[in-house]
Structure 1
Amino acid sequence: MALFGLAALLVGFSKTAIGGLSSISIAIFASLMPARESTAAILLMLIVGDVMAVWNYRHDCDWSLLRRLIPSVLPGLALGALFLGAIDDNVLRRVIGALLIVMALLQLLLRWRSPTRGGLAYGRTAAIGAGLAAGFTTMVANAAGPVMTLYLVAQGVDKRRFLGTGALFFFGVNLCKLPFSAGLGLFHAATLTRALALAPLVLVGGWAGVRVARKISQVRFDQAVLGASVLAALALVLR
C-alpha cells in the first residue's frame, strides 16, 4: 500500500510541477497490478490531478499549441484502444517500457541538438505526429507525458505556459479515454475503491507541486521535466 501511496503523491506532484514523474507512478502501478487493470486505476487518479492542475494554471494555457494537436489525438486514442484490446499483460508491460524509453531518447536527442530553449520548433506536420503519438501512448500506457514534454520544450514555452497547456490537454484527453477504457472492461469495483482511497494523496502531491513550481527557475524546470522522463523509463524497464 505504501508504494500505491507514493504513486498517488507523484501523480499529483507531476500534474502541477514536474510532468515526467507521473510515468514513475505508471511504472509502480504496472508492477503491482495486472498491466491492463493498472491503466484504468491510474487513469482515475490522473483525472483527479488534472482537475487540480487546470484550476491552478487556468490562465496559462496556450490555445494555439493545443489547436495544432487536438485533431490528431482522437485517431491516436482509437488506435491505442484497438491495440490495448488485442494484446495480453506481458506484451503490454514490454510495450509500456519501450514507449517510455523511446520518448526519453527523443528528449535527450532534442536537448543535444538544441541546448538552448526553443532551438527546435514543431511545424504542422510534426504537431500532427505529436498528437497521434500522444493519443496512442496515453491510451496504451497513460504515457503521453514524455510526448508532450518533447513538444512543449521544443516550442520553448515558459514553465507556467508549459504547465497550463499540459494541464488542459491531459484533462481533455483523459476524459476522452474514460469511454474507451470502460468499453474494454477495465473498470472494476476494486479499481474504483483503490482510486477513491488514494485521491486525497493526489491532492496533497498537487499542493506540493504548485509550491515547488513557483520557486524553481526556468532552466532547472526544463532540466527536471526531461530528467524525470528518463528516470520514469528506467524505473519501468528495470523494475
Structure 2
Amino acid sequence: MPRRAKVDRKVIDNSLLLIGLAFALGGILKGATGAGAPLIAVPLIAMLYDVRLAVAVFALPNVVTNAVQVWQFRDARVPKLSLRFALAGAVGTGVGTLALTALNAAALLLVVAAVMLLYIGFRMARPDWSLSFALASVLAWPMGALSGVLFGISGLSAPVSLTYLNATGLDRRNFIATVTSLFLASGLVQIPLLLWYGIMSSQTILLGLAAIAPLLAGMPVGAWLARRISKQVFDKTILALLCVLAVKLVWDALT
C-alpha cells in the first residue's frame, strides 16, 4: 500500500494560504487561456510539500471547474474528436495513477519537472506546428491516452494535450470544449483510484474543496488580464515562471 498523503494540523494551517495562492494563480492562467490551471497549482504544491499531495488536492477542483466548463461549452464540442480524446484520456489516467502509487517522491518530482520542461521546450521550438483535422482525429486516441498517463502520474497533461489541441487549429470555444472534456473524464477516473489507494484522504478532500474558491476567483482576473496584454507577452511570462518552478523541482529531487 503506498504512503498516504498525510497532513498534520500545523501543515494544514500553513497550507491553506499557500495552496489558495497556488490555485488563484492557476485560475488566472485558466481564465486567460482556457486551460492550464494545474501547470501553476500542481508544481507549486509539489515544490512545497509532495507530488501525491499536489495530485490529491487538485483532483476535486479539477472535476468541479471542468464540469462547469463542459456544460458551458457543450454546444461547441467537436463530437468525434472530443469523444475519442476524452475516452482515451480516461484510460490513460488509470494507468498513470497506478504508476503514481509505485514511484518514490524524488522520482515523482523529476517526472513533474520533466513534463514541464518538455512543454516549455516544445512551445519554444515549434510554436507554429499544426495538424490537419483528419490527422488530428486519428491522433486523438494516442494523444488522449498519453495525456491521461501524464495526468495520472503528475497531475499535468499540458505537454501533450495543450500542444496537440493548439496544433489542430480549433477556435477558442471548440478548444475549451474539447480539453475540458478530457480533464473531466480523466478526473472522474482519477478520484476513485486515489481514494482506493489511500492517496486521497479526508484532509486532502477538505483542502481540495477549499481550493475551489480561489481557483474560480482567479479565472475572471485572467480573462481581464488577457484583454489588456498581448498574448505573446503573457505566454513568455508564464513560460518563464514554469521554467523557474521546473528547475526548483529538479533541485529538490536531487538534493
Percent identity between the aligned chains?
24
| 1:194 equivalenced with 2:210 (yes/no) | no
Structure 2 residue corresponding to 1:120, chosen from 119, 125, 131: 131
- Rate the CA distance shift 1:210–1:47 in 2: closer, same or farther, 3 A: farther
Query: Using the alignment, how far apart are the partners of 2:228 and 2:98 within structure 1?
Result: 40
Q: Please say which of residues 221-230 and 66-75 is displaced more in the overlay.
A: 221-230
Aligned AA (1:237): V
Query: Using the alignment, how far apart are the partners of 1:226 and 1:73 within structure 2?
Result: 28
In the TM superposition, residue 211 of structure 1 has moved relative to its aligned partner by: 4.8
Secondary structure of the residue aligned to 2:76 is: coil
The corresponding residue for 1:10 is 25
Query: Using the alignment, how far apart are the partners of 1:24 and 1:69 within structure 2?
Result: 23
In the TM superposition, residue 210 of structure 1 has moved relative to its aligned partner by: 4.7
For 1:148-167, list aligned pairs within 5 A: 148-167=161-180
The corresponding residue for 1:237 is 247
Query: Using the alignment, how far apart are the partners of 2:48 and 2:248 within structure 1?
Result: 14
- The 8 Å contact of residues 130 and 147 in structure 1, kept in 2 or not, is answered as yes
The corresponding residue for 1:87 is 103
Aligned residues: 231
- Rate the CA distance shift 1:123–1:49 in 2: closer, same or farther, 3 A: closer
Query: Using the alignment, how far apart are the partners of 1:36 and 1:21 within structure 2?
Result: 17
Secondary structure of the residue aligned to 2:86 is: helix
Aligned AA (2:27): G
1:64-122 residue CA offsets vs partner (Å, 9 max, x unmatched): 3213323432332232122112111111111111122123323333315x4xxxx3334
In the TM superposition, residue 20 of structure 1 has moved relative to its aligned partner by: 3.0
In the TM superposition, residue 40 of structure 1 has moved relative to its aligned partner by: 0.5
- Rate the CA distance shift 1:51–1:23 in 2: closer, same or farther, 3 A: same
Aligned AA (2:116): L
In the TM superposition, residue 138 of structure 1 has moved relative to its aligned partner by: 0.7
In the TM superposition, residue 123 of structure 1 has moved relative to its aligned partner by: 3.9
The corresponding residue for 2:198 is 185
In the TM superposition, residue 177 of structure 1 has moved relative to its aligned partner by: 1.1
Query: Using the alignment, how far apart are the partners of 1:15 and 1:200 within structure 2?
Result: 14
- Rate the CA distance shift 1:171–1:221 in 2: closer, same or farther, 3 A: farther
Aligned AA (1:235): L
- The 8 Å contact of residues 107 and 226 in structure 1, kept in 2 or not, is answered as no
For 1:24-63, list aligned pairs within 5 A: 24-63=40-79
Secondary structure of the residue aligned to 1:17 is: helix
Q: What CA RMSD, in Å, does the superposition of the two structures yield over aligned residues?
A: 2.8
- Rate the CA distance shift 1:197–1:176 in 2: closer, same or farther, 3 A: same
- Rate the CA distance shift 1:80–1:10 in 2: closer, same or farther, 3 A: same
- The 8 Å contact of residues 17 and 163 in structure 1, kept in 2 or not, is answered as no
Unaligned runs of 5+ in 2: 1-15, 250-255
1:182-224 residue CA offsets vs partner (Å, 9 max, x unmatched): 12211122212222222221221233345556x479xx55885
Q: Please say which of residues 75-84 and 52-61 is displaced more in the overlay.
A: 52-61
TM-score of the superposition, structure 2-length normalised?
A: 0.77
